[in-house]
Amino acid sequence: MSVTKQEFRDAMARLGAAVNIITTGGPAGRGGFTASAVCSVTDEPPTLLICMNRNATAAPALRANGTVCVNVVAAGQKEVAMVFAGVTKCSMEERFDAGTWASLATGAPVLQGAVVSFDCRIADIVDKGTHSVIFAEVAGIRGGSHHEHGLIYFGRDYHPVGKASA
């Protein structure tokens, strides 16, 4: 039995995942994109896995800079996520007009108000099919408010998730 590209994409739309804005900063400039394909790999050393389409406009800067920040988007930041997903047509630098940004150890842009941000150095990149699998070692973490709802992508749409702490 063979699975078509569309069957696979339709099935993956039923797999809810956290919405993340992946950013990079350094000598090659700033870049960023929205992704749901992010997960932990190991806690020694703390490492994340990020999947990025190899044709992403941020890909050249990300590869050249060797830095990445995984910003886990809060429910109230849906519009920022949509800008970085390319829904709003603007230049890469104009994307950063959405949201408020700072930096930590690597210089990659950190989204203020994110649920949590993982500032990372890229340890390895493996190309597979249409995507690059990025292994990123965590150099710093900025935790957001525990009162924020997260944002997931499910059924090809954004949904708030989580219960705000008292």
pLDDT for the residue 158: 93
Structural domain includes residue 131: yes
Which CATH number is 68's domain given? 2.30.110.10
The 8-class DSSP code of residue 62 comes to H
DSSP one-letter string for 104-164? -SS--EEETT-SEEEEEEEEEEEEETTEEEEEEEEEEEEE--TT--EEEEETTEEEEES--
Residue 59: what residue type? A
Structural domain includes residue 166: no
Mean pLDDT of 37-58: 97
**pTM: predicted TM-score of the whole model, two decimal places:** 0.93
pLDDT at 20 over 80: yes
Structural domain includes residue 57: yes
Percent of the chain scored above 90 by pLDDT?
Answer: 87
pLDDT at 146 over 80: no
The 8-class DSSP code of residue 64 comes to H
Give the range of the structural domain holding residue 30, as residue numbers without chain letter.
5-161
Q: Residue 2 burial (CB < 10 Å; 0-12/13-18/19+)? A: exposed
Structural domain includes residue 68: yes
pLDDT for the residue 89: 87
Confidence of residue 147 (pLDDT cuts 50, 70, 90): low
Mean pLDDT of 120-137: 97
pLDDT tens, 67-103?
999 999 999 999 999 999 998 889 999 999 999 999 9
pLDDT at 14 over 60: yes
| Structural domain count, the chain | 1
At 10, phi and psi to the nearest 5?
Answer: -65, -40
Mean pLDDT of 30-54: 97
pLDDT for the residue 63: 97
pLDDT for the residue 164: 56
Q: Helix (H, G, I), strand (E, B), or coil: what is residue 65? A: helix
